[in-house]
Structure 1
């Protein structure tokens, strides 16, 4: 029996992992299954190969992704928590659409730091049919994402950000318009802090000291100078230049204590509105911050023949 989790009501994983169904769709997963102390089927989440195979099975079973893989060393994201962000973004857009969740390829989403896994575009286009543009600074990540798209015949736009100091500059073109942007920013301020975070994770898993992360991750995925606040502050600053090309800008915020400094930064940017959206995932609470420069009477139409 699956363990229930506190995920978004539309999240397909709110009842936990159905290993019988997953193994039926992806028989290779069975070799990685084990029994928990209470007799439930699970996997060893400290085993990178097991986590990758679980993701492959989840994406095939729930999101019709026939092929999925990532190069060694890249972030292998937990699918249920990642797709929760998508569902809450859908609710955010519904607030500007007479409380109706918008669906279809005319809804444009921009994923900053899409990663080698392409997890947000894959789940978002499957759940809501939105058109995604994925951006990354890492050429290896773009190559992996492109391979996933080609194998699955997916029309996801991929763009490489060539300048580390830029987020929106250089990837949002003059004729672009987006309903929403999203980002899971690097949250450590240095490689040293990233390593300390790794040690804490492994200690919590009862594995002692290790330089490995159970979900992997490249340096650009885990840390940047100044950490999360500096990254999102730069995002807010650049978002002002594209204020009329996007309805909602959003970013995950890993630390609750970072919210107040970010809210002050949004105040200085003179946004028309902002929201903090909390997402409960089991015993953990995550959140994202969203802001817009458009007043309600300025916000774009969700109609299929609209510019966006």
Structure 2
């Protein structure tokens, strides 16, 4: 085992990576493994190909995904942190249900910006059997997600959003109902800001200056005008139209400082309830914000 972390108790990666098991299932991973100063097996997390191969192995061993790959330049997400969002969403749904975590395809989830990796539907469907609808605006990401679905024979609905400024309209159909919507929004306000963030990451890792992103990322995945606050504010504004079709709307929030303005926006939107859920992941804490237009009674019947 390598690298224990403070992940959700149900997270399969809470005890670190079992490289012996991963390499046994995905022999190609062995070429990317190294030994750290403590004598533990690991990989070079600044090597995009190594991270991609680790993801492929994790998805195969833990989530029964036989084929997984993404085009060059697209966001290669760290699986343990991403699946934590899924587990905490399961806890959110368990509230008011005698704390029983709901499982099965009757639970419908809408993943906004599902990406080329399709990471949330893949892990969420495997862990809980939920029915996912993945949405993306990028044609390359959509094509990649579709290929992953087809080659694994997965029942995941994919819808391409054609309107850049619309988040829910056009992808939520009149007869759709969703227990959850989820999103990992672009968090930078400009490409320049995204590049500065990259420089900070590489500097913190002791790698000096670099223009490379160790986890990749297309423009639409990394930044949008106004950044994270503007994107989530638009999501809140547009969620009102679908208040009776969705139980909980949620989004990751990368910066703690963004919570206060987002909470003000939610209060003005007259939501019935909202929560900030913190997720401890190693030495850092991430979080998501969740809001609903339904009363507790309505939620219990949804």
Q: Which TM-score band (shorter chain)? A: over 0.9
Question: What is residue 201 of structure 1 aligned with on the other side?
Answer: 201
Q: For structure 2, which runs of at least 5 residues remain unmatched after alignment?
A: none
Q: Secondary structure at the match of 1:46?
A: coil
CA distance in 1, matches of 2:265, 2:96: 24
CA distance in 2, matches of 1:89, 1:35: 35
Q: Deviations over 1:71-115 (max 9, x none)?
A: 000000000000000000000000042211000001000000000
TM-score (norm 2): 0.99
Question: What is residue 306 of structure 1 aligned with on the other side?
Answer: none
Question: What is residue 305 of structure 1 aligned with on the other side?
Answer: none
CA contact (8 A) 2:252 2:287 kept: yes
CA distance in 1, matches of 2:229, 2:199: 22
CA contact (8 A) 2:134 2:157 kept: yes
Q: Secondary structure at the match of 1:89?
A: helix
CA contact (8 A) 1:133 1:159 kept: yes
How far did 1:300 drift?
A: 5.8
Q: Secondary structure at the match of 1:299?
A: helix
CA contact (8 A) 2:7 2:84 kept: yes
Q: For structure 1, which runs of at least 5 residues remain unmatched after alignment?
A: 303-308
The count of aligned residue pairs is 302
Question: What is residue 219 of structure 1 aligned with on the other side?
Answer: 219
RMSD: 0.8
TM-score (norm 1): 0.97
Evaluate the alpha carbon distance shift between residue 231 and residue 105 of structure 1 in structure 2; reply closer, same or farther with a 3 A threshold.
same
CA distance in 1, matches of 2:245, 2:92: 17
Matches within 5 A, 1:50-199: 50-199=50-199
Q: Secondary structure at the match of 2:267?
A: helix
CA distance in 1, matches of 2:230, 2:32: 40
How far did 1:3 drift?
A: 2.8
- Structure 1 segments, 4+ long, off by >6 Å, are none
Question: Does 2:292 align with 1:275?
Answer: no
CA contact (8 A) 1:247 1:300 kept: no
Question: What is residue 38 of structure 1 aligned with on the other side?
Answer: 38
